[in-house]
C-alpha cells in the first residue's frame, strides 16, 4: 500500500463528528445562556450564566436519585435473571435451549407500547402502578433478552473441557457457575450492565405510562417531560437538566468505549 498523508482524513472526520454532535453542543450552549439571550441563538454562550444549573440542582435532584436507583436495580435484576439462565442454556441439559434464542429475539421485537399497555393492567391488579419496584421490573424487560443472547453467545465460546474437568473433580453446578463461568464472563457482564443501565436511565415509555402520579419519585426523563408539559418556555433550565441526564452516557462512552462497541455488534440489538 502506498503511504499518503492522512491528515486531511482526520480533518474530514473531525468535521463530520462536529456535525453529528452539534445538537449536543447546542444543548450545552443553551444551558449556559441567560434567559433573555436564548432567543438570539448565539453560537456560544455569550451571555453566560450558571443560574440554570442552580435551579436544576434545586428541583431535579430527587428525579436524578430515582433514576440512579432504578438503573442500578435494573442492572442487578438483569444479571440475577440472565446469568444463571445463560449458564443453563450454554452448559446444562436445558430442553428449551434451541427455541429460547428465537423467543428472546421475538421478545425484543415486541413494541414497547404493547408491553406498557399489558403492564398497565397487570400492575393495576398487583398494585405496582406508581411504584419504583414496578418501574424496575418494567425497565428490566428492555435488557433481559439482550443480556441472555449476549451471555449465551459468549459462554458458548468457552472451552467445554474446562467445565467437564471441573465436573469430574466433583464440582457442583453452582460451584462451576460461580467460580468458573462468572469470573470468565467478566467482560460480557460489564457490557450487559452498561446497556441495562443506559436503557433504564433513558426509558420514557414505561416512566410516562406506569408512573403517572409518582410525584418526586419519578425518573429524570419525567423531570424533563414535566418541564416541557408545563410549557413555560424555560429552555435554559430544561437544557441544563438534559445535560445532567446525558452525564451517564458521556461517562460510560469515555470510560468503557470498547465494551459499548462490543455490545452493539455482538447483539446487534437495540430499539
Partner 1 sequence: MNIKCNSSPTVITRQISTSFFYRYRSRLAAFGFAAPLIVYLLLFYVSPLVQNVSMSLHRYTRRTFVTGDAPFTGLDVYREVVSSSEFWVTLGQTLVFVFASIAVQYALGLALAVFFNQNFRLSGFLRGIFLVPWLLPPMVSGTTWQWMMDADNGILNRFLGLFGVGPVWWLQADNSLWAVIIANIWLGIPFNLVILYSGLQNINGDLYEAASIDGCNGWQRFWRITFPLLRPVTLITLMLGFVYTLKTVDIIWLMTQGTGTSQTLATWAYALAFAKGSHMTIQYSEASVIGTILILVALVFAFVYLWAQKREEEA
Q: 148 to 207, contacts with partner 1 by CB under 8 A?
A: 148, 173, 177, 198, 201-202, 204-205
Using rule CB under 8 A, residue 122 touches partner 1: yes
Site for partner 1 contains 131 (CB under 8 A) = no
Handedness of CA 120, 125, 126, 129 (dihedral sign): positive
Angle, to 10 degrees, between the axis of helix 144-155 and the axis of helix 186-202?
Answer: 170
**DSSP H/E element including 211:** none
CA distance 236 to 213: 26
Binding status of residue 221 toward partner 1 by CB under 8 A: yes
With contacts defined by CB under 8 A, name the span among 50-58, 100-108, 127-135, 183-191 that binds partner 1. Answer: 100-108
Q: How far apart are the first and last CA of the chain?
A: 40
The site for partner 1, by CB under 8 A, has a size of 92
Q: In whole angstroms, what is the distance from residue 130 CA to residue 212 CA?
A: 6
* Window contacting partner 1 (CB under 8 A); options: 44-52, 53-61, 185-193, 232-240: 232-240
Residue 22 CB neighbour total at 10 angstroms: 11
Q: Which cell numbers in the block locate residue 97? A: 435451549
Residue 232 binds partner 1 (CB under 8 A): no
- For position 249 contacting partner 1 by CB under 8 A, the verdict is yes
Instruction: Choose between 61 and 92: whose C-beta lies nearer to partner 1.
Output: 92
Q: Single out the residue of 64, 189, 239, 240 in contact with partner 1 (rule: CB under 8 A).
A: 239
Residue 87 CB, nearest distance to partner 1 (Å)? 5
Amino acid at each position: 500500500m502506498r503511504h499518503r498523508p492522512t491528515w486531511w482524513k482526520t480533518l474530514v472526520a473531525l468535521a463530520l463528528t462536529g456535525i453529528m454532535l452539534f445538537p449536543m453542543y447546542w444543548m450545552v450552549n443553551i444551558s449556559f445562556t441567560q434567559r433573555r439571550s436564548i432567543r438570539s441563538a448565539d453560537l456560544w454562550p455569550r451571555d453566560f450564566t450558571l443560574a440554570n444549573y442552580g435551579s436544576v440542582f434545586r428541583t431535579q435532584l430527587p428525579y436524578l436519585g430515582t433514576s440512579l436507583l432504578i438503573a442500578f436495580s435494573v442492572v442487578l435484576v438483569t444479571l440475577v435473571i440472565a446469568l444463571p439462565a445463560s449458564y443453563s442454556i450454554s452448559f446444562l441439559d436445558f430442553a428449551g435451549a434451541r427455541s429460547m434464542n428465537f423467543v428472546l429475539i421475538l421478545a425484543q421485537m415486541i413494541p414497547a407500547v404493547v408491553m406498557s399497555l399489558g403492564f398497565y393492567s397487570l400492575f393495576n391488579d398487583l398494585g405496582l402502578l406508581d411504584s419504583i419496584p414496578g418501574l424496575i421490573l418494567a425497565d428490566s424487560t428492555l435488557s433481559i433478552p439482550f443480556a441472555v443472547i449476549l451471555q449465551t453467545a459468549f459462554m458458548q465460546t468457552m472451552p467445554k473441557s474446562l467445565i467437564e474437568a471441573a465436573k469430574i473433580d466433583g464440582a457442583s453446578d453452582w460451584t462451576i457457575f460461580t467460580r468458573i463461568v462468572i469470573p470468565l464472563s467478566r467482560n460480557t457482564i460489564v457490557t450487559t450492565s452498561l446497556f441495562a443501565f443506559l436503557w433504564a436511565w433513558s426509558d420514557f415509555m414505561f416512566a410516562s405510562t406506569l408512573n403517572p402520579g409518582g410525584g418526586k419519585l419519578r425518573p429524570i426523563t419525567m423531570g424533563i417531560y414535566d418541564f416541557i408539559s408545563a410549557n413555560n418556555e424555560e429552555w435554559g433550565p430544561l437544557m441544563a437538566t438534559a445535560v445532567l441526564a446525558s452525564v451517564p452516557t458521556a461517562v460510560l462512552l469515555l470510560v468503557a468505549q470498547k465494551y459499548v462497541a462490543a455490545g452493539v455488534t455482538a447483539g446487534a440489538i437495540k430499539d
